[in-house]
Amino acid sequence: MKILDKYILTKYLTTFFFCILLFTAIVVVVDISEKTDNFSKSNLSAYQIMTDYYFGFIPRIDALLFPLFVFISVIFFTSKMAGRSEVIAVLSSGVSYHRFIRPFLVGGIILSAVLWFGYQYVIPKANKKWGDFEKRYIDPSSPAGMNNSTYKQNIYFKLDQNSYIGIRGYDTISKTGNGFFIQRFSDNKLLYNLRASNFNWDTITTKWKLTDVTERTLNDINETVHKTPIKLINFNFKPIDLRKDEYLKDQMSTPDLESFIKMEKIRESDTVSSLLVERYNRDAIPASVIILTVIGTVLASRKVRGGSGAHIALGVVLSMTYILFSRFSVVFATKGSFTPLLAAWLPNIIFGLLAVFLYRRALR
């Protein structure tokens, strides 16, 4: 690694981490001021609030705006270099533009890898910590809080191609429920019906334990009825599959999310599109860090009237445009006809083409 590489890479990373730490401090202060009443009512210590809430809140908000601060950081220190004529000096010394942009790409790849790992494993844990605290202490009586209550009612889903399950009520904390039934069909005819007054998850056998079970097997001529006080059954769904709320997909690690998507496809769930968008975004958003790094470098390496202020203003506009594209794509995928893969990667495709255009223009 040459002196130039070390200089640019150090400037890139230090500027980014300074920006994100400063932003995090500001957001935490504002959030504390807004939630002081909630924290005081919770009767939790400052240590508990920090570990149970802010250890989830901070990674969540930082990951959300990670690409934005990458972009602003690149534009800020690169425009400073251009304003001091450092870029002109580097290029005049015989260094090609390809060579000049290389340390920027290395820095972008490093930060992209950090964000990718975070989205796969770290951010889901942070989202769970934040979501659990939010539901319990911040706003449990709001419509969102009620939708995400620990007690679910009237759950219906497809178990396999021919079987359906219904549950009257289920508590996600105790993992117990009531009003359980299974119906199995063939050629639009009911072949099997099972009903249980209560059920719960048996942690020892890792199976569902049904009580007061009545099984009916039907054929064209007669019906067979069998009653059992207790029955252990290994279904293809687990307690987490019954904990459906708006936070669930954000709180699962990528391997767990992929397994959950497979089961939801079998059940023909209407949440598959939103789950797929979440899965593809975990790869697409980190990739945007590299794209935005290239765009920021190309834009800010030119010395313009207005200096770094003009560059930063342009960077903020482009960053907000990227975020809007991303949000619109998600809405069209979940509510419209967009495929989830296209919805996740469309902003990267558009801004990737913009990056190529600007880079080629910079070479002239």
With contact defined as beta carbons under 8 Å apart, do 49 and 31 qualify? no
Judge whether residue 146 has pLDDT over 50: no
pLDDT of residue 304: 62
**Residue range 47-99, pLDDT digits in tens:** 999 999 999 999 999 998 898 889 888 988 888 888 888 888 888 888 888 88
Of residues 123 and 134, more confidently modeled:
123
207 Rama class: left (phi>0) / alpha (psi -120 to 50) / beta: beta
**Residue range 152-166, pLDDT digits in tens:** 888 888 888 888 899
Burial of 78 (0-12, 13-18, 19+ CB in 10 A): buried
Judge whether residue 141 has pLDDT over 60: no
pLDDT of residue 145: 41
Q: How far apart are CA 59 and CA 56, in angstroms?
A: 6
Number of Cβ within a 10 Å radius of residue 63: 18
The answer to pTM > 0.75 is yes
Query: 83: which 2 tokens?
Result: 């304003």
Strand-pair partners of 101: none
**Residue range 219-274, pLDDT digits in tens:** 877 888 999 999 999 888 888 778 766 677 888 899 989 988 888 887 777 778 88
With contact defined as beta carbons under 8 Å apart, do 155 and 242 qualify? yes
With contact defined as beta carbons under 8 Å apart, do 220 and 97 qualify? no
Q: How far apart are CA 15 and CA 157, in angstroms?
A: 50
Confidence band (pLDDT; 50, 70, 90) for 308? low
Confidence band (pLDDT; 50, 70, 90) for 139? low
Mean pLDDT of the chain, nearest integer: 85
Order of strands across the sheet that contains 207-218: 151-158, 163-171, 176-186, 189-202, 207-218, 223-233
Mean pLDDT for 36-54 is: 88
Query: 237: which 2 tokens?
Result: 């769904």
pLDDT of residue 144: 40
Q: Where are the domains of the chain?
A: 3-141+272-363, 151-239
Confidence band (pLDDT; 50, 70, 90) for 310? low
